[in-house]
Amino acid sequence: SSELTQEPTMSVALGQTVKITCQGDSLRNYYATWYQQRPGQAPVLVIFGKNSRPSGIPARFSGSISGTTASLTITGAQAADEADYYCSSRDTGENTSVVFGGGTRLTVL
């Protein structure tokens, strides 16, 4: 099955911009979906499709894709954005499993 690769940890200064990336072959056919997970809580959907945000997700979150690398950009990071971020897509071909990246722990300094 396909894999999605993320940087394990990243940090960003308060108010600055950070780009979290996700690389994998399945991203040739599927947009990456991005989830935010705070400690002890269920994941929350933040970006899906080309660059769509569910109701309630701040506009500072945006998504993009280039080839087999997807990015989640937080423009003007806030303390509340400190969390784990997971990308996800579906396998292509015969096995259409859902796949998750290993997650990126974001620290806001």
> Which residues are near other proteins by CB under 8 A?
1, 29-31, 33, 35, 37, 42-45, 48-50, 54, 65, 84, 86, 88-90, 95-103
> Minimum Å distance from CB 44 to other proteins?
8
* b/e burial code for range 53-64 (CB count within 10 A of at least 16 → b): beeebeeebbbb
At closest approach, how far in Å is the CB of 13 from other proteins?
26
CA angle 73, 76, 81 (to 5 degrees): 70
Q: How many CA atoms lie within 13 A of 84 on its CB side?
A: 13
CB of 10 to other proteins, least distance (A): 15
Q: Considering the complex, state which of residue 48 and residue 60 has its C-beta at the smaller distance from other proteins.
A: 48
Instruction: Report the residue number, 30 or 74, with the smaller CB distance to other proteins.
Output: 30
Which C-beta is closer to other proteins: that of 65 or that of 76? 65
Closest CA to 9 of 20, 24, 22: 20
- Closest separation in Å from C-beta 18 to other proteins: 19
CA dihedral for 2, 83, 75, 10, sign (positive or negative): negative
